[in-house]
Structure 1
Amino acid sequence: MSEVVRLYRFKGLLSSRAAISADELMTALEISRATLKRDIAKLRDQLHVPIVYNRELGGYQLERDQTASELPGLWFSQEEILSLVTIQHLLEQLEPGLLGAKLQPLQKRLAQLMDKHGLASQDVAKRIRIVHAGKRQVVAKSFELVAAATMAGKRLNIWHFNRQNGITTEREVSPQRLVHYRDNWYLDAWCHLRDDVRNFSIDAITQLEVLETKAKEVSTKAIDQALGNSYGIFNGAAQAWAKLKFTPERARWVAGETWHPMQETAFDADGSYVLSFPYADDRELIGDIMRYGADVQVLSPATLRSKVQKCFLEAAAKYV
């Protein structure tokens, strides 16, 4: 195990026992006596963990009233530092400006660590590029309030704009989890107006307030049953199975994609790729099918096949 993991485990062992012998520590941590002495010295001298040896109990312990002390942390290897910086930069590119102010202290600390390990020349910004497609702007304050309520288990009163019918509805919801899907943020929540699980696009929340009322807790299983079996972001129990057939040329790409967790796949003799999966709402599905133009054919159900055909014919008519 890495040193940082071992030292945290060392601290945990000391906190969990009245006293623990050197032999027990070496066995639990799988280290030599020499490493044990170095670890104790580092914990005491560099990290200021109050370790003492109790002769009566025959083992090491933390000084009384110091069992709740925390390690100051953030001592990592070069690889771990670069990984942290990379993750931080990915978050920054994922949602520019959304958490910038909140991450500044972390950025400063990571920069200091990079300098210490001779990594100052590593310009992460030049090594990572995220391309956004169809990304909608989220108001930073709205995202922060939604995230805070979700983590704190508090209800929200929201005004949500329904793009399908153009109507804004006020409703009270119990946030369950945040979802980042296709470059946009959504909230899975229990809707007290509809008395059911619903999914809300955070950028479509025009106004909101965090309530002091405790949120209704919904099990992950129940949320997945309501939202996880449908296709894409739309909720609802699966109503039908879509069966699509892709050309051999397009199969080279689609065969490596996951369209649905429950999908079933097969190759025909000519190399065509057949993909089947359940869906509840066909709006997003039709758009995805049409992206492939002549490289895809809807085999079933007939209703979906008819809708896709109608969409293609209407699109073609605009170019006559």
Structure 2
Amino acid sequence: MGENQKLVQYQWFDQQVKAGRYPNATTLAQQFEVVTKTAQRAIDYMRDQLNAPLQYNSTRKGYFYTDNTFVLPASEPTQEEMLAILLAQNILANSAQGVISQQIKSFGRKLFGKNGLFGVTEKRFREAFSSSWNEYAPAQGQVFKTVMKALIENRLLTFIYTSPRDQQPKERTVEPHHLQHYMGSWGVIAFCHLRGEWRSFMLSRMRDVEMKSDTFVPKPRSQWKNQMEGGFGIFQGGQLILVRLHFNPFRAPWIREQIWHKDQQIEELNDGSLILSFPVCQFHEVKMRILQYGGDVVVLEPEKLKQEVLEGARVICRNYDENIF
């Protein structure tokens, strides 16, 4: 039996239940000219896999819903769609104290049902896939839920925010527009009433987060998209500057595998080295990334970034020469 035909059966049975007609395997079999065992399997599938709250009434000799708000899924998810959902659970397992992962996990258990999903048990799936992050700033679960709710409902958000730069806690009132997951950390792009401009706030630096009753009218994406796209890394919002980095033949094979920016360009050189070019808005993050590769990379341009990397390298050398630790 084709998947479309099965879906038609589920829809018909759902309609009969909602109409209070107490359908059963016999009536389903008669309607679609199938054997009763096949019809019963369809009912069992609706209950066990589609989570239909079906219960049998022995007096009426048919089924009814214990929850009349149940809505039958529009179509059965494909194997690839189900796999993507379960992989998302693994990827976000430690994000925002597992708030998102727990919700996906609940749905995932329903997908697995009693007999597993396309031949794989839930335990085997957990053992087969994993993800890991490092150097990320975890957000508190309650903070994430409050920010997400304020964003969805277009409500003002207040919180105490401490930047690692000045370490001075400041009260902020913002209009949240976009939640961004970057390298394991969560940030919210919002219009800040204190500064009168768009800012990106890391959820890990927030405390005393409160969603207000006041609402706001969401502004078009064109007004805030420069806070999340354009240049390399998380630091956005400024003028784009082209960076060109020369990687030696030893490091080049690793760099060829990587995507630093969607608009990057790679120039191959005869000696096996390469030049990687991409735009940035600020030097802070890319400078740390360059220093990570030590002597395997040289900044070709811009000159200002080259000098900042040189100064960083000099500080490292002085620290070791002076044995300050």
Quickly name the TM-score band, shorter chain normalised: 0.7 to 0.9
Which residue does the alignment assign to 1:151?
A: 152
- Pair 228,72 (structure 1): closer, same or farther in 2 beyond 3 Å: closer
Counterpart of 1:166 in structure 2 is 167
Q: Which residue of 2 aligns with 1:120?
A: 121
Per the alignment, in what secondary structure is the counterpart of residue 162 of structure 1?
coil
CA contact (8 A) 1:135 1:183 kept: yes
Partner of 2:136: 135
Q: In 2, distance between residues paired with 1:80 and 1:227?
A: 27
Q: Work out the CA distance in 1 between the residues paired with 2:235 and 2:6.
A: 45
Question: Which 5+ residue runs of structure 1 have no aligned equivalent?
Answer: 12-35, 50-67
The 4+ residue runs of structure 1 with deviation greater than 6 A are: 44-49
Query: What is the Cα deviation at residue 82 of structure 1?
Result: 4.6
CA distance in 1, matches of 2:132, 2:116: 29
CA distance in 1, matches of 2:268, 2:102: 50
Q: CA shift at 1:97, angstroms?
A: 3.2
Whether 1:3 aligns to 2:3 is yes
1:269 Cα deviation after fit: 2.3
Map of 1:289 onto structure 2: 290
Question: What is the number of equivalent residue pairs in this alignment?
Answer: 279
In 1, the alpha carbon distance for the partners of 2:113 and 2:176 equals 37
Q: Assess, with a 3 A threshold, how the Cα gap between structure 1 residues 85 and 196 changes in structure 2: closer, same or farther.
A: same
Deviation at 1:120, TM superposition (A): 3.4
Distance 1:172 1:247, change over 3 A: same
- Counterparts of 1:41-60 in structure 2 under 5 Å? none
Paired with 1:118 and 1:258, the residues of 2 have a C-alpha distance of: 35
TM-score, reference length from structure 2: 0.72
- Per-residue CA deviation, residues 203-235 of structure 1 (Å, 9 max, x unaligned), is 001221101222342322332234412331113
> How far does residue 265 in structure 1 lie from its aligned partner after superposition?
2.5
Q: Does 1:196 align with 2:187?
A: no
Within 2, Cα distance between the matches of 1:80 and 1:114?
18
Q: Which residue of 1 aligns with 2:222?
A: 221
Partner in structure 2 of residue 58 of structure 1: none
Shift of the 123–93 alpha-carbon distance from structure 1 to 2, 3 Å rule, reads farther
- Percentage of identical aligned residues: 24
d(CA) in 2 for partners of 1:223 and 1:4? 43
Answer whether contact 1:94 1:130 (CA < 8 A) is retained: no
| Distance across 1 between alignment mates of 2:196 and 2:113 | 50
Shift of 1:101: 5.3
SS for the counterpart of 1:163 is: coil
TM-score by structure 1 length? 0.73
Do the aligned residues in 2 keep the contact of 1:160 with 1:204 (CA within 8 Å)? yes
